[in-house]
Structure 1
């Protein structure tokens, strides 16, 4: 039965064959053991490398100089060692064996009695058999009469495994080839660190501050020591050497080093803070999450091609996106320049534009916005919304969506959105075509009927954030967000809303709403604290003032009775004053609503408006 990694159970030990070739003696017999109490079925045994985490995370003594071949208890016939079972088929004097790749990227190759042949003769024989493939015999040495070396390629290890007893030497002897999944013994001492340091020095480019450690273990200057960077203890020693001698390193190439686990590489971000370019291609990194220990590095270029993690992505765009989530400053990935990232990652010395409550794509639309908001919400917050029929196009449509905040406690009556949820057209929840069609109201009659069924409200116009996104002779797109209070609902709950109007010209020379998108949710604590507390700034020329406090432009002609009633209703619902004080305020300012609101805010901030002005 083959051992893990292609190793074979042979009763052969290096130390037993130091003197001469003893291959034809009659006592060369396989040992058989029938252990009592063994469970039926497969022969079960544990190996040191059954836990892959120990292979890559801990530095394990692999015992390269001893126990090259281990004894196995071989059952002679049948499954589970049953007697009187049919004998297995034999091939080349023994049972057929199959190579099994191991968990480690290194394999020990042992040639029993190989020391009697010259090294070059032995290697030429092996290379000739696996031609055209070639391999590098790492750490070749003779141990007794055996020749031992290592290879770092699973395909080469399999070909050498299959070469067992198939290569005939000049003396007529067929080479025995034993392959075991094993790494050489390592010992990080001062001498080894000095060799690593000298090897790194010749690979360092001072002009570009770049260090090339590609296939570091195969460097000719390290042929006598095992220096594979996939072993954490060796990688950490290399990081310490770099941090001590070139702490300002900006580019590091770790290609083709059989890297797997990277948890220990968290030291890179702490010791090499200037590292911006990192190449890790042609390794064995299995998952993108394996790169998390490197996330704190300010990388602008990363190379991962040739790792299993890349093949896990069928869509290249998703691969690029997921990598950039971990390294948002990347401008180059796998040798390809990336498009600029969309984000707000700016340096500390860059001044951000000032906060602006509202935005006008065209200042000429300012008067239209003021007039529209004043007239629309004066009617919307009145006792009857039927007058909104004139505001909507004949083929207008409205869509409303409502949703709870994550922090909402729905057991509280004031938080429940019962008046909105049943008619919500949230397309993330409403997936069927028929409900989606039913919740989309079309035609001015359906639109106004739907709005009339919603709870009565009072909007905080001074707290509006208004954006005029499109302003052309044929199309206007207006969005706004703010807070309103339900005036007839128990507890007068406050709601947050966002609304988008798409407005087109009508045949009467005015404008009509073609599409109305409304979203409603509950207010946050910050919104509750700011609700109905906005005060008009003194600067009346600012864009923010013009939009935050809607008003109709003053005219030279006196308003008629209908217009006066509308102005009184507007200032009353905007300021909270009763109709008597609202009428007085407008009369004293010659029915100029914008001036009246300005004076109100100024007097209110000074505390000069009596409490009876707000008693209704």
Structure 2
């Protein structure tokens, strides 16, 4: 009798081999159903073939393929065995995973990669018989856990910390894929730990970091347990509501969450309120101190008691702290609070040396007439401040923008601030600010992968940098940030924005060379005095450059002279200051032009304040900005095409008050449509619909700026906001011209402040251009989304009822869609419709 030979044999070091034969198999591909009888043959091995056709170009295909497969089978247990890579196909074996295979068929045996392309799968049922002694996923899990029980770690003086960090890399899993990012696999592991009574009673904590965990639902099995530490850091947890729900019965002295997307959300750490009673520390911060604005200066540091004081009387003592890794405090007395945080930091960075180590002030606060902040790991700078600067900060008279790091301008000293230092005020502990981590997170937030644009405008204001000052006016810190960005993004980035960062020198071409596809840089509204301070950027071969709003622009008497000077350095440039350079080498106009650089601060203060108020639910606070004899006129030239009757009715609110002279049939309206005084102007504003302006696309021209008058023109776009979820927002373009005059002088502590009021305003509304339609609300709309905590319990109940009436889904499914959309009704409906299109909702989900 002939013995049939297997087609393949998979060998394992500690288990019997698996013999694979394709003779009696049933194969499926590109379909969504299969004969259930083929999988009813006990513990047979099945093979899944990934047909990627070499699209990975020699790169390791395994991580990405497994990631998307685990996402496709989420909620069902899957343990790939004997993964084998191939030039055109990858393959692996599975068994006892009918539910996971069913989900792959629901996806038509295809999975979507990160580049949006699809890879097809082929399933061979019953390629081999399971034999006792062959590899068993559950047995391997037990084997790995038993080994880890014997080498549990010690944390905070307590033994018994079970370390499952990067659990998939354990030696027992050399032929097995274990992914804790799969909820069912994670649940299996948690049940094995909890079910082993002899071992679990010795476990005092769990380290689960860096495992790709997205949900911690399996941790519910540990309800009632009290751990020393529960380390969930460096995972992929995004939902705060689910985290709080799943950890509601789990307790630990310390919870570690750093490195999860949840910690970068707008409502973090406030979103942890429901479980604060369960933990004493979160990422090293006492739970009672946990907030975005947490500072050791508020709780752990007493300026009057902590640290070793160093001042001019004992300045040699600074040498005792050369090797210190602790926090040091810099304290600047300012009894009258003459200076703001930003002013103090500007003057501080004028004082520190640009040639020494980077310095990052952290945890700033003003208390008891003193500016206080912490620094560490910058001993050479501290010694420079003591020995060279004599512990004094010179406050320049800022009548002109001064180049802080060269002698291009003569600095006139207006005042000298003396300060002192407190050394070793507090040891550094895990969870406190790490500058490089902060920079990395900020870069991630500000990179738009769709447009391939890195937006570092006003970098200090990035979400997550509330407790650290990363001052890009320092050339060294600018290079550090851009070096990190270059290494992070490599060839991905095409456009770099760096406006409103007080940059004085942008010769950073060496660190940007790694961004080989970089074609556009925006350096507008900085403090660059001369083209010499940007000329090295010419090595990058830029096509687009923006420099307007810098003092260097005022050096040229005409636009033609300015363009010629720039093109001498950047011959490949096709667009300058957002305007195409014509063949003859000149620009038709300049954007964001300020006739006097002193206008920067005024524009930066007035524009956000005015439009934030105008977009709010209560515009009444704008009244104080208008003079009692102010004049306001309004023209409306919006052309309506294919608009619903409801939207047509909405825009009629604008027509009622407009003053289009050429189109007014009754010329008497030319007089009645001029609004005089703050009261009449407010009445008009109250009648206009709710709006939302995109400040990031504003073009600002300050034609006149002197002690007698300011004339400011702003162009941009805004949404006329829909009154209900059934309507849509209407995008409009506008121009507003303000004339402001001083009404009070010699205000403030220094008698230098001036109060301005609007005496004349002209508002025009018209259709947006094609360019505006393309660029509008790229960032601003996303940043303004309401966070989860803004929705009250009663709001959620109402949304649930509405969603259930519209979709006819059961409450559990309604909750799921609304939570995934962060209780945004429109977004939840879109997700629901997408699920319907892809047939992902079972019939049992409906009432």
Pick the structure with more strand per residue: 2
> What TM-score, normalized by structure 1, do the two folds share?
0.30
**Greater relative contact order: 1 or 2 (C-alpha under 8 angstroms, separation 6 or more)?**
1
The structure number with the bigger radius of gyration is 1
